[in-house]
Structure formats: structure tokens, C-alpha cells
Amino acid sequence: MAVAHAGTLAALLMLAPAAGSAAAADGVAPASVQAQEERVVDLETLVVSGVQPGPGMWKVSRGDHTLYVLGTVSPLPRRMEWESAEVESVIARSQAVIGPPTVSVGTADVGFFRGITLVPALLRARNNPGKRPLREVVSPDLYARWEVLKARYIGRDRGVERRRPLLAAQELYEAALRRSGLRTTGVIWPVVTAAAKSADVPVIDSVVRVPVEDPKGILQELNTSDLADRECFEGTMARIETDLDNMRARANAWAVGDIEGLAALPHENHYSACQQALTGSVLAQRLGLDDLPERAQQAWLENVEEAIEQHQVSFTMLSMHQLLGEGGMLERLAARGYTVESP
């Protein structure tokens, strides 16, 4: 991935995972946790494992130039290997691989949807202003729900209690995925980059760069400011409480190549509220974060159109939600005169 150089930022910016180390084993839940247990829907949809075919690819073409598009979902089964021979064959015949949208904050490149929620962590502003614990930052009702989910998925980790709601929510989300046999990274993109490297095909990054010119000042501002991220906190918990079974179903549908089944399943995206917590603030506007979603999509779209124009065969990947949603990328490409063929 490309890296934005920012001089002295190297000492102040760091890429830190939203989830910390594995939490200790669950203990006995306190009374307030037990009183809220009925909120949690503990569903048992099995997650596929072993080698699975994965979905087919869309073809976007103009004349004899074709772009192959692999739709992705997240999370995916943790123990799944997908049959990537067709994708590897396409990449071997390609002249370019277009990477998915990526955010570059200072010196750190991270995937867009997860990356935008990590901006406070990238700026070492993970904890609440004034070192206040979560129970003093969110409402009693939200904190009671948090206690239930934390006891179930994280355990006795006390460090997370100091995190901003946005980052605490992300840590909880990733812990819940691990317990559900799912993961958000390491399934598709490593296969794609390895195939490109093996075939000596260049990978073109779709990067939105966010330079940080005054890291000390921004860090000071973040350390004294709220991010209006309570809605993100609540939305993430609601998704864990009610949507884990759908997540497993979507992961299974992708793994076995069931595009129709995947499209029919409801898709909840708690990240939109988390993005708004960052992009809607005055600080976000100063940093140029307020229009990041559209800029990221535009960077990908420009790279895709250039690849189709210049190369006979090229390859890219993008989330199913971005591809197929209302006003999605496939719809936008068709509106620009490209021929779009479904798998």
C-alpha cells in the first residue's frame, strides 16, 4: 500500500488495532449484567469451514476491455479457505489489480470502513477526555447493555473501560466476531495480493490521503473533546445483540457462492453511525474527513475507469454493499455506458 509521508508524524501516529489482546476468561456476571441477559440473542447458525467456492465475478466491459469484479463481505468464516483458482487465473491474465478504498492518515494506511473509526487511535487519543470511564460517559441504560455484552465477549479487561465509546464498541464487535467463528481480515485480500505478486501484476491503490499538519494541536483537541459517538456505541451493540445470526448467514452465502441468497439477507451497517461521529465534527472538517466516503468511492471509480480504458483485462474487489446497494458502483458504471454482466 502507498504511504503518505508526514515527517515528524512518525513519532505521534501509530496504527493500533481497535481490539486489544484477548480478554481473560469470562467470570460470573454481576447482578446488573444478569438482569439484562435477555437482551442478548445468542444464535447458533453454523459457520462453514474448509474449502468453499466463494462467489463468481461480475464483468464490466467496454469494447474488448474487461474488468473483473469480486464482491466481498465482512465478516467471513474464520476457518474457511475459499477456492480462489478462478480469481488467481483472472489476475494472472490482468495488467492491473485495483485495490479497494483505503484511508491514509499521516503515516498509516488502513482499510476505509474500519480505518475511519480508528482515527482517534491513530492519533493516540483512544481514551475519554479527562480519563473518565465509560460508565460516566454513556447513559445508564447503554452501560447496562455494555456490561452484558462485555461479560460475554470480552471478559474482565479493564482497559477497555477507559476507551472512547467508538473504540470500545469496535473492540466489543471484533471480540463478538471471534466468539462467533468470524473474522474481518485475512481471507480475501492476502490471496489477491499474493496472486498479483506471483504474476508480476501491479496493484494500484485507491487511497484517500488525510495529511495531519499539526499533530500536537489535533491530539490536544481530541484529548479535550467528545466525538458525539454515543449513537455509534449503541448501534454497534444493537448489531451484536440482534444481527450475529445474519452475519453468519451472509458469510455462509458468500462462501458457497449464493449471490441471490446473499442479496436477500438484511444488511445492517453500524459503521455509518460511527463514521458520522467522526466526519460530522468541526475537527473532522478541518482535517478533511467530512467527505471521506464519497472521496474514497471516487478514488476507486477513477482507478477502475482508467484501468478499463488502458488494459484489456483488469481485476478489482469491493464490498457487496458498495457494489449492489442503491446508487452502488455497478449501477454507476452502467450509467456511464459500461456493460455489466452478473456472475
**How does pLDDT run along the chain (343 residues), one tens digit per residue?**
333 322 222 222 222 222 222 222 223 333 333 333 333 333 344 455 556 667 789 999 999 999 999 998 888 887 777 778 899 999 999 999 999 988 776 544 444 444 444 455 444 567 888 888 999 999 999 999 999 999 999 998 888 999 888 889 989 999 999 998 888 888 888 999 999 999 999 999 998 877 766 666 666 666 666 666 788 899 899 999 988 888 888 888 888 888 888 878 776 666 666 776 666 666 666 666 777 778 888 999 999 999 999 999 999 999 888 888 778 899 999 999 999 999 8
Residue 62 inside a domain? The answer is yes
Residue 24 inside a domain? The answer is no
**Cell matching residue 237:** 451493540
For residue 203, what pLDDT is reported? Answer: 97
| Per-residue CA distances from 171 to 14, 17, 178, 222 (Å) | 17, 9, 11, 20
For residue 128, what pLDDT is reported? Answer: 82
**DSSP designation for 185:** S
Between CA 117 and CA 277 the distance in angstroms is 9
For residue 219, what pLDDT is reported? Answer: 64
Residue 47 inside a domain? The answer is no
Residue 8 inside a domain? The answer is no
For residue 223, what pLDDT is reported? Answer: 64
| Per-residue CA distances from 305 to 205, 308, 338 (Å) | 14, 5, 10
pTM of the model: 0.74
Residue 29 inside a domain? The answer is no
Residue 165 inside a domain? The answer is yes
121, 321 contact by CB (below 8 A): no
Residue 6 inside a domain? The answer is no
317, 304 contact by CB (below 8 A): no
In single-letter form, the type of residue at position 52 comes to: Q
For residue 271, what pLDDT is reported? Answer: 66
Residue 17 inside a domain? The answer is no
For residue 117, what pLDDT is reported? Answer: 47
The total number of structural domains that make up the chain: 1
70, 188 contact by CB (below 8 A): yes
Domain that holds residue 274: 53-341
For residue 279, what pLDDT is reported? Answer: 67
DSSP SS3 for 252 = helix
For residue 299, what pLDDT is reported? Answer: 92
DSSP SS3 for 178 = helix
